[in-house]
């Protein structure tokens, strides 16, 4: 398809590359965010069907190595909002659990929505919040809220006072696979949701975003709309979507049979908490998991169609991504946890910007979830966020294989429900995790993509492991990580257990 046919087919007018942005010409920005979504659910990387997200990728850029900063909702979402790591925004684990270290970011935290509002953008937030139990999106710069989900505590009370009668949606579910953790009663891990498509949270969240796009498109100002799909639908699709998958046809991942030898004991404890599982369990679980994201993809299509109908697709940057992934059978684990594997940390990421990104392009450079706030402000021509813990992805739009790009990223972890310190560095070829609660992990992502063999004690790979340790120290120092080396007493810091290593180059 040539450029003229592409523009005609998509309804998108070209934008001159490198154009200076006046308030009237600044591009709109649409962020669509999944939850608990593996990178392999899109772009035909598995049998999961996501034709609308794939369509977006065919019209823009697919990031092959995008990672979350932390595989837990609240820290990931606060990092997105601020473009920073935990010690600069002030939340560390789940904000709405009894074990929460804090329920709200620091009072003086600076967010990209606030800067965009200051710069003349009209902003709307739809769907899952899970960022604070004290403040709501309008406290951080957004003008409007739609289809609220996962608002708790004072934040929920604020919404009710604003006239939202139903913060939590009733859910009719039929469990197919139940799990009983050692100290709990049995609960459903996956199954069917009941009702019509229009009754689902997925549909209502998409509809809220569609209505915002339609209204904002008539106001003559650049706009930014975020659509955050709810977590609750994961592996609980409507029956019609599940029936599209033949479970026995789903390949069983080789790491499902991971014996977890030579790995932290906590991983075996986590895997064993789900009880005995079989190949058929893996296949059935993945069938429900994939079906739920196919159902979500249908709503992504509705949003993209509404954007095209608004006439503003040609001047709108569209991003699809997710806050983090989920094991969902990998290494015999199911829900996100401290295990540092690709299924949980690697996320889908697609960016479409007509006239600035070559349709169907892709980048293998390292990207992170919290880079997006920096990217949005760069695109809008606004002042940057104060903490450069992330970077704008814009240089990759024109040079997907840029040589001067970073060659490693940091992923800090403070725990989800249990508090535990982990720091991970990911390079172009390897991954190293410092586990303060157990021994460390190092994986060769090229020769061992299933992450079955921990190289930490391998004599043959000592130079690589030392290199990764040294890289981790470099990143912790660069970003002023409080658990790094600060030249003072190290009683409770990483140097107590972590060898310094030596860079290979």
CATH architecture label of 26-402: 3-Layer(aba) Sandwich (3.40)
Whole-angstrom distance, CA of residue 449 vs CA of residue 399: 26
CATH class held by domain 418-505: alpha beta
- At 212, which helix (H) or strand (E)? helix 201-216
Classify burial at 172, counting beta carbons within 10 Å of its beta carbon; exposed 0-12, middle 13-18, buried 19 or more. exposed
Kindly tell me if the per-residue pLDDT of 57 is higher than 80: yes
Classify burial at 218, counting beta carbons within 10 Å of its beta carbon; exposed 0-12, middle 13-18, buried 19 or more. exposed
Q: Find the length of the chain.
A: 505
Q: What are the structure tokens assigned to 78, written together?
A: 């606060």
pLDDT band at 417 (very low <50, low <70, confident <90, very high): confident
Residue 347 C-alpha from the chain's centroid:
6
Kindly tell me if the per-residue pLDDT of 48 is higher than 90: yes
pLDDT tens for 388-402 read 999 999 999 999 999
Contact between residue 50 and residue 42 where contact means Cβ atoms under 8 Å apart: yes
pLDDT tens for 483-505 read 987 766 666 678 888 989 999 97
Kindly tell me if the per-residue pLDDT of 251 is higher than 50: yes
Return phi, psi of residue 232, to 5°. -60, -25
Instruction: Please enumerate in sequence order all residues whose Cβ is within 8 A of that of 311, keeping only pairs 6 or more positions apart, or say none.
Output: 11, 217
**pLDDT (mean) for 228-254:** 96
More confident residue, 359 or 164: 359
Which of 12-26, 63-77, 175-189 bottoms out in mean pLDDT, i.e. has the lowest?
Answer: 12-26
Same fold, 26-402 and 418-505: no
Question: Dihedral sign, CA of 217, 372, 357, 54?
Answer: negative
Whole-angstrom distance, CA of residue 474 vs CA of residue 118: 35
Kindly tell me if the per-residue pLDDT of 8 is higher than 60: no
Q: What pLDDT, on the 0 to 100 scale, is given for residue 491?
A: 66
Kindly tell me if the per-residue pLDDT of 16 is higher than 50: no
Which of 18-32, 126-140, 436-450, 455-469 bottoms out in mean pLDDT, i.e. has the lowest?
Answer: 18-32
Whole-angstrom distance, CA of residue 201 vs CA of residue 231: 10
Instruction: Please enumerate in sequence order all residues whose Cβ is within 8 A of that of 367, keeping only pairs 6 or more positions apart, or say none.
Output: 63, 65, 66, 67, 349, 393, 396
**pLDDT (mean) for 288-310:** 98
Q: What pLDDT, on the 0 to 100 scale, is given for residue 449?
A: 98
pLDDT tens for 147-173 read 999 999 999 999 988 887 655 666 789
Which of 219-233, 256-270, 335-349, 487-501 bottoms out in mean pLDDT, i.e. has the lowest?
Answer: 487-501
The residue with tokens 């660069």 is: 478
CA within 13 Å, CB half, 466: 10
Q: What pLDDT, on the 0 to 100 scale, is given for residue 172?
A: 85
pLDDT tens for 172-194 read 899 999 999 999 999 999 999 99
Collapsed DSSP state (helix, strand, coil) of residue 362: strand
Whole-angstrom distance, CA of residue 239 vs CA of residue 492: 51
Whole-angstrom distance, CA of residue 33 vs CA of residue 22: 28
Q: What pLDDT, on the 0 to 100 scale, is given for residue 166?
A: 57
Kindly tell me if the per-residue pLDDT of 14 is higher than 60: no
Q: What are the structure tokens assigned to 359, written together?
A: 């349709």
Q: What pLDDT, on the 0 to 100 scale, is given for residue 400?
A: 98
Q: What pLDDT, on the 0 to 100 scale, is given for residue 266?
A: 94
Cβ atoms within 10 Å of 1's Cβ, excluding its own: 12
Q: What pLDDT, on the 0 to 100 scale, is given for residue 487?
A: 63
Q: Where are the domains of the chain?
A: 26-402, 418-505
C-alpha distances in angstroms, 306 versus 89, 474, 499? 35, 46, 54
- At 166, which helix (H) or strand (E)? none
**pLDDT (mean) for 20-49:** 88
């Amino acid at each position: 398809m040539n450029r003229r046919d592409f523009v005609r087919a998509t309804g998108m007018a070209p934008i001159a590359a490198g154009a200076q942005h006046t308030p009237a010409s600044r591009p709109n920005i649409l962020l669509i965010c999944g939850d608990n979504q593996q990178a392999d659910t899109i772009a035909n990387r598995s049998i999961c069907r996501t034709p609308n997200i794939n369509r977006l990728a065919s019209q823009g850029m697919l990031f092959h190595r995008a990672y979350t900063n932390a595989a837990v909702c609240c820290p990931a979402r606060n990092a997105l909002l601020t473009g920073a790591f935990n010690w600069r925004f002030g939340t560390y684990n789940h904000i709405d659990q009894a074990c929460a270290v804090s329920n709200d970011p620091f009072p003086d935290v600076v967010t990209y929505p606030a800067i965009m509002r200051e710069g003349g953008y009209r902003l709307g937030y739809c769907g899952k919040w899970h960022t604070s139990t004290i403040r709501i999106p309008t406290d951080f710069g957004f003008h409007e809220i739609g289809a609220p989900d996962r608002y708790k505590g004072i934040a929920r009370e604020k919404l009710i006072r604003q006239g939202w009668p139903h913060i939590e949606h009733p859910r009719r579910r039929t469990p197919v696979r139940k799990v009983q953790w050692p100290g709990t009663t049995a609960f459903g891990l996956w199954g069917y949701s009941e009702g019509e498509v229009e009754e689902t949270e997925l549909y209502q969240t998409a509809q809220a975003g569609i209505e915002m796009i339609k209204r904002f498109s008539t106001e003559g100002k650049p706009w930014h709309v975020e659509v955050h799909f709810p977590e609750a639908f994961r592996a609980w699709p409507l029956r019609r979507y599940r029936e599209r998958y033949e479970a026995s046809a789903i390949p069983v991942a080789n790491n499902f049979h991971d014996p977890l030898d030579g790995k932290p004991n906590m991983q075996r404890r986590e895997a064993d908490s789900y009880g005995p599982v079989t190949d058929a369990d893996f296949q059935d679980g993945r069938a429900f998991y994939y079906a739920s994201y196919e159902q979500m993809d249908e709503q992504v299509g509705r949003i993209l169609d509404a954007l095209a109908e608004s006439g503003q697709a040609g001047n709108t940057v569209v991003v699809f991504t997710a806050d983090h992934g989920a094991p969902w059978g990998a290494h015999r684990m199911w829900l996100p946890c401290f295990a540092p594997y690709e299924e949980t940390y690697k996320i889908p990421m697609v960016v479409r910007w007509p006239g600035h990104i070559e349709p169907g392009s892709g980048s293998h450079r390292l990207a992170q979830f919290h880079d997006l706030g920096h990217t949005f402000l760069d695109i809008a021509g606004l002042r940057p966020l104060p903490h450069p813990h992330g970077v704008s992805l814009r240089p990759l739009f024109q040079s997907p294989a840029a040589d001067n790009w970073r060659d490693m990223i940091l992923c800090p972890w403070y725990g989800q429900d249990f508090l535990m310190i982990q720091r991970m560095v990911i390079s172009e070829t390897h991954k190293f995790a410092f586990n303060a609660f157990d021994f460390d992990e190092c994986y060769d992502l090229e020769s061992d993509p299933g992450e079955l063999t921990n190289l930490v004690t391998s004599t043959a790979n000592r130079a690589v492991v030392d290199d990764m340790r040294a890289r981790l120290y470099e990143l912790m120092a660069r970003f002023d990580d409080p658990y790094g080396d600060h030249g003072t007493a190290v009683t409770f810091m990483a140097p107590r257990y972590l060898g310094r290593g030596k860079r290979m180059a």
